[in-house]
């Protein structure tokens, strides 16, 4: 029996199923036919929403970046009374969500390092203007001393990637290490 769903619901179902299959079987070997079969639809319906497997992957990447970075960006864009207040909020959010992201199993799976690098770069580019403005505001308020807030923002964002991806550290240790290094750069 054919089940009709709203277009956005069906599109999300295809995307979520594809990411589950990519994590289980691997991106390279998973086909659009595999995805359609797992969703319980014909392949043509998958192609109605995504012209290719790569487009489907790009949509998942974009969704992950948005889901993960929007709350951090909201903190960076907010008005807090001190640098420490920002760091407390970011650390709390990070500890609560680290490893629980919607497509974590795929992007952080051993063997998917190139996908993880794409994810990391996309997250940094998405957050960069907000980090720049955050550092500029802190500098203007006299909370920090940086010569070039744009260079500092890039160095902080791109420099934290190996720490955040270190599976030998707890979420709290990752956050503490990033905050400690960040303080050394901007204080």
Judge contact between 21 and 30, C-beta under 8 A.
Answer: yes
Q: Same domain for 87 and 175?
A: yes
pLDDT of the residue at 21:
95
pLDDT of the residue at 2:
63
Tell whether 88 is covered by a domain. yes
Q: How far apart are CA 104 and CA 96, in angstroms?
A: 14
Tell whether 2 is covered by a domain. no
Identify the domain containing residue 20 by its residue range: 7-51
pLDDT of the residue at 63:
92
Tell whether 1 is covered by a domain. no
pLDDT of the residue at 185:
93
Quick one: tokens of 156? Answer: 């902080």
pLDDT of the residue at 1:
56
Q: Same domain for 161 and 104?
A: yes
Q: Same domain for 132 and 174?
A: yes
Q: Same domain for 30 and 60?
A: no
CATH number of the domain to which 150 belongs: 1.10.357
Residue 99 makes CB contacts below 8 A (sequence gap 6+) with 108, 171
Q: Same domain for 37 and 80?
A: no
Q: How far apart are CA 113 and CA 101, in angstroms?
A: 17
Tell whether 159 is covered by a domain. yes
Counted residue by residue, the chain has a size of 187
CATH number of the domain to which 29 belongs: 1.10.10.60
Quick one: tokens of 81? Answer: 């009374």
- How many domains are contained in the chain? 2
Residues of the chain with pLDDT under 50: none
Q: For residue 80, report the phi and psi dihedrals to the nearest 5 degrees.
A: -115, 165
Q: Same domain for 113 and 179?
A: yes
Q: Same domain for 171 and 96?
A: yes
């Amino acid at each position: 029996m054919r089940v009709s769903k709203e277009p956005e619901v069906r599109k999300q179902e295809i995307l979520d199923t594809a990411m589950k299959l990519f994590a289980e079987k691997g991106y390279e070997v998973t086909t659009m036919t595999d995805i359609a079969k797992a969703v319980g639809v014909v392949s043509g319906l998958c192609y109605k929403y995504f012209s290719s497997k790569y487009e489907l992957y790009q949509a998942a990447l974009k969704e992950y970046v948005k889901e993960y970075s929007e709350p951090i960006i909201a903190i960076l864009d907010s008005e807090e009374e001190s640098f420490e207040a920002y760091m407390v909020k970011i650390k709390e959010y990070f500890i609560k969500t680290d490893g629980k992201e919607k497509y974590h199993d795929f992007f952080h799976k051993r063997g998917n390092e190139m996908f993880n690098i794409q994810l990391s770069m996309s997250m940094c580019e998405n957050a960069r203007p907000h980090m720049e403005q955050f550092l500029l505001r802190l500098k203007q308020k006299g909370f920090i001393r940086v010569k070039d807030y744009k260079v500092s923002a890039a160095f902080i964002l791109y420099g934290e990637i190996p720490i955040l991806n270190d599976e030998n550290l707890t979420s709290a240790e990752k956050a503490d290490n990033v905050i400690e290094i960040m303080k050394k750069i901007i204080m």
